[in-house]
Amino acid sequence: MGAGHAHSLYLDRESRLHRLAPECKLVAVFTFIFLVVLTPREQFWAFAVYAVLVLAVARLGRVPSTVLARRLVVELPFLAFAFAIPFFARGEQTTVLGVSLSVSGLYASFNILAKATLGASATIVLGSTTPVRDLLKGLERLHLPRSFVSIAGFMLRYSDVIIGEMRRMKVARISRGYDPRNALQARALGAAAGALFVRSYERGERVYLAMVSRGYTGVMPDLGAPRAAAAQWRTVAVLPAAAAVVCSCAWLAQT
């Protein structure tokens, strides 16, 4: 059975960052992103400092910058829109290399680019230093409703199973000479998607039966994970604290 690796984002290394409790890291990363988003877009230096902070944390977690750069590719589709803004926005115009661009559009573009990249980098570092199942545990300890956490857990558990099923169906199609050349022939793909949906639905039923058979009554049991030590919270607080200082300074400089 194909044991796919849907959780391959995690880099199994030994570092201080890896050893921190997941809930601490989650809170630190999300506070950091929140502060980055709050920062006024005109204060370019602030974003440079944020970038240095993220790179420092990545280094601490032994996430190579090449890996970070490669994984940042996921944000590209979202940035396509940001790049178009200066060409279409109105207001005061400026000329760069003979092309007329909107000043506020350029700011908007930079704003999206900088904040998205910083946010994505921070989450990439988090994902690279924390196994997904630990992230789920962290979310549970942060009192996210347990049904949300279990749904995410099921998704994680069964994505491999469903991808495996999808792959076997594909091999079965190819083995019977399937090679679609036009939209009409692509009908088989639709049928396969439908079959996959029905199979997943039936699997859901069977999983539920297996859960009920082991005494499930509608609430996932609380497995009472140990809480993170105060020292861990103090350690992770360094990142959001630094970001808070930068953000405050940026606002002071702005007014």
Partner 1 sequence: MSEPVIEIDGLAFAYPDGHQALFGVDLHVHRGERVALLGPNGAGKTTLVLHLNGVNTAGRGTVRIAGLPVEKKHLQEIRRRVGIVFQDPDDQLFMPTVAEDVAFGPANLGLRGADLDTRVREALEQVGMAEYADRPPSHLSYGQRRRVAVATVLSMHPEVLVLDEPSSNLDPAARRELSEVLLSLDLTVFMVTHDLPYALELCPRSVILDGGVIVADGATVDVLRDEDLLRAHRLELPFGFDPARAAGRRARRGR
Residues that bind partner 1 (CB under 8 A): 1, 3-4, 7, 132-133, 136, 153-154, 156-158, 160-161, 203, 206-207, 209-217, 221-224
Q: Rounded to an integer, what distance in angstroms lies between the CA atom of residue 39 and that of residue 28?
A: 17
Q: Which is nearer to partner 1, 49 or 139 (CB)?
A: 139
Q: Which is nearer to partner 1, 52 or 210 (CB)?
A: 210
CB of 186 to partner 1, least distance (A): 29
CB of 151 to partner 1, least distance (A): 11
- In DSSP terms, 246 is beta-bridged to none
Q: Which is nearer to partner 1, 83 or 154 (CB)?
A: 154
Q: Which is nearer to partner 1, 103 or 155 (CB)?
A: 155
Q: Which is nearer to partner 1, 200 or 248 (CB)?
A: 200
- Rg of the chain, C-alpha, whole Å: 23
CB of 5 to partner 1, least distance (A): 9
CB of 225 to partner 1, least distance (A): 10
CB of 7 to partner 1, least distance (A): 8
Burial of 1 (0-12, 13-18, 19+ CB in 10 A): exposed
CB of 140 to partner 1, least distance (A): 11
Q: Rounded to an integer, what distance in angstroms lies between the CA atom of residue 4 and that of residue 1?
A: 9
CA 26, distance to chain mean position in Å, is 12
Q: Which is nearer to partner 1, 115 or 137 (CB)?
A: 137
CB of 133 to partner 1, least distance (A): 4
- Quickly tell me which residue has 């962290």 as its tokens: 138
Token pair of 54, please? 């993220």
Q: Which is nearer to partner 1, 116 or 156 (CB)?
A: 156
